[in-house]
Amino acid sequence: MERVKKGHLVINGIGSSNGGSFEDVLVNGVGTINGNIECEHLESSGKGHFKGNIVSESIKVNGTASFGGAISGEKIDIEGSVKIKKNVQVHLLKVSGNSTFGESVRGESINIEGRISITENCDAEQFHARGPIKIGGELNGESILIEPYGNCSIGEIGGQSISVKQSARLSHWLKPFFTNTLSVNSIEGDEIELESTIAKMVRGKNIKIGKKCEIDLVEYSDTFEVDNDADVKEYRKV
Average pLDDT over residues 147-175: 83
Strands 8-17 and 2-5, how do they pair?
A: antiparallel
What pLDDT does 14 receive? Answer: 94
Q: How many domains does the chain have?
A: 1
Average pLDDT over residues 83-112: 97
- Contact present, 143 and 160 (Cβ < 8 Å): yes
- Residue 28 inside a domain? The answer is no
- Residue 135 inside a domain? The answer is yes
Strands 24-33 and 122-131, how do they pair?
A: unpaired
Average pLDDT over residues 24-30: 95
Q: In this model, does residue 174 exceed pLDDT 90?
A: no
The model's pTM is: 0.91
Average pLDDT over residues 113-121: 97
- Residue 227 inside a domain? The answer is yes
- Residue 190 inside a domain? The answer is yes
Q: In this model, does residue 178 exceed pLDDT 90?
A: no
Buried b (16+ CB within 10 A) or exposed e, 153-171: bbbbbbbebbbbbbeeeee
What pLDDT does 92 receive? Answer: 98
The amino acid that residue 5 corresponds to is K
Domain of 204 in residue numbering reads as 104-237
- Residue 49 inside a domain? The answer is no
The strand pairing partners of 116, in sequence order, are 99, 133
The closest of 187, 96, 97, 91 to 139, measured between CA atoms, is 187
